[in-house]
């Protein structure tokens, strides 16, 4: 789901933004350790390597960078962060290429395959983030087109969303093909005159939403929360038939909205059994949608690398992350 700002962890000595945007320096001019942390300045050595898969959306990257920063600077681990799509990341548990998926959006099929059947992966608890997928339009359309947020009226307004890619149907703009998706089934089962058009990335969705609101262009698109975009651009969610338990059990028969998900962490069984303090930190990690959005916003809109944005949050939130550090 996201803009690819991550190029790997930067060296700790690089100047980073601190709380309130100011640099945190000691008298030598070097970047100081986060407040309340002694080991960040002189981390333990020989902690081993942790491989955190990076899925393609910036909120995921925000969580991964905060955890990676603490693994490196508090516990002395080396961290590898390969960019891998969701499906392939799960395969990495079996091949040894992945230790951690730091933000999992459901995937009961993959849990069954890799946790229950192959037993090469394990759940590692909630991230604390509440994930919601839905269909959205720019806020200005709500005022101009009465009832447009009711899915029953989408066929009435489908012509507004037509593009060269959607032909004689209205376009439903989608992101990365690897994202969780019920869109084709929803369109078919709700008998909507729409066609899914894949934009290819989180960046395409963000650009489309921003232009749609600023330039008063009609747009119907797939998106999710948590995301920093909601604090920058006025959007409205389309009301699909309410989710009820089991309404999405058969992928081909889905005719209901997405469920709110308690996003969780998945780790390899090997990492869970031999990862030591690194595994404990990953398991203990939990924060809010607001926390994630703050880091993701800095990465996307304030010119910070993943490590810089993570460090800024860590400096400002010592009480939160200290509770994650194994005793």
pLDDT attached to residue 307: 98
Q: CA neighbours within 13 Å on the CB side: how many for 60?
A: 30
Which of 127, 247, 240, 242 is closest to 192 using CA atoms? 240
Q: 282-323: per-residue pLDDT in tens?
A: 999 999 999 999 999 999 999 999 999 999 999 999 999 999
pLDDT at 178 over 50: yes
Query: Torsions phi, psi of 190, nearest 5?
Result: -95, 0
E strands present in the chain:
49-51, 78-80, 100-104, 121-138, 170-174, 194-198, 221-225, 235-237, 261-268
Read off the pLDDT band of 85 (50, 70, 90).
very high
* Average pLDDT for 249-258: 95
* Strand 194-198 to 170-174 pairing: parallel
- Give the least confident one: 45-49, 62-66, 138-142, 298-302: 45-49
pLDDT at 182 over 70: yes
The string of DSSP codes covering 216-255 is T----EEEEES-GGGGTS-EEE-BPSPP-TTTTSSGGG--
CA angle 69, 74, 80 (to 5 degrees): 40
Read off the pLDDT band of 183 (50, 70, 90).
very high
* Average pLDDT for 181-188: 96
pLDDT attached to residue 39: 35
Read off the pLDDT band of 19 (50, 70, 90).
very low
* Average pLDDT for 205-229: 97
pLDDT at 26 over 80: no
pLDDT attached to residue 42: 34
Report whether the peptide linkage leading into residue 226 is cis, meaning its omega lies within 30 degrees of zero: yes
Read off the pLDDT band of 36 (50, 70, 90).
very low
pLDDT attached to residue 150: 98
pLDDT at 170 over 70: yes
Cβ neighbours, 10 Å, residue 143: 9
Read off the pLDDT band of 255 (50, 70, 90).
very high
Average pLDDT of the residues of the chain: 88
pLDDT at 5 over 90: no
Read off the pLDDT band of 38 (50, 70, 90).
very low
* Strand 235-237 to 121-138 pairing: antiparallel
């Amino acid at each position: 789901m996201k803009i690819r700002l991550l190029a790997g962890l930067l060296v700790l000595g690089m100047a980073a933004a601190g709380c309130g945007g100011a640099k945190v320096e000691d008298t030598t001019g070097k970047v100081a350790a986060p407040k309340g942390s002694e080991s960040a300045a002189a981390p333990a050595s020989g902690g081993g390597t942790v491989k955190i898969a990076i899925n393609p959306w910036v909120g995921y990257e925000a969580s991964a960078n905060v955890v990676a920063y603490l693994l490196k600077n508090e516990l002395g681990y080396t961290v590898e962060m390969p960019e891998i799509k969701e499906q392939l990341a799960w395969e990495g548990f079996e091949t040894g290429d992945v230790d951690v998926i730091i933000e999992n959006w459901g995937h009961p099929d993959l849990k069954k395959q890799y946790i229950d059947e192959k037993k090469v992966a394990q759940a590692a608890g909630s991230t604390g983030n509440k994930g919601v997928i839905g269909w959205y339009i720019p806020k200005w359309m709500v005022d101009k087109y009465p009832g447009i947020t009711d899915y029953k009226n989408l066929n009435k307004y489908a012509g507004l969303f037509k593009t060269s890619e959607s032909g004689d149907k209205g376009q439903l703009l989608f992101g990365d093909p690897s994202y969780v998706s019920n869109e084709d089934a929803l369109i078919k089962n709700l008998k909507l005159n729409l066609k899914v058009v894949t934009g290819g990335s989180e960046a395409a969705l963000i650009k489309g939403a921003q232009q749609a609101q600023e330039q008063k262009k009609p747009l119907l698109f797939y998106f999710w929360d948590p995301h920093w975009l909601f604090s920058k651009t006025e959007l409205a969610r389309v009301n699909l038939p309410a989710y009820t338990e089991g309404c999405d059990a058969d992928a081909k028969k889905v005719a209901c909205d997405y469920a709110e998900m308690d996003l969780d962490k998945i780790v390899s069984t090997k990492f869970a059994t031999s990862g030591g303090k690194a595994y404990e930190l990953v398991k203990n990690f939990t924060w809010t949608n607001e926390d994630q959005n703050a880091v993701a916003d800095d990465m996307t809109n304030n010119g910070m690398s993943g490590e810089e944005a993570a460090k800024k949050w860590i400096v400002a939130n010592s009480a939160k992350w200290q509770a994650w550090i194994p005793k």
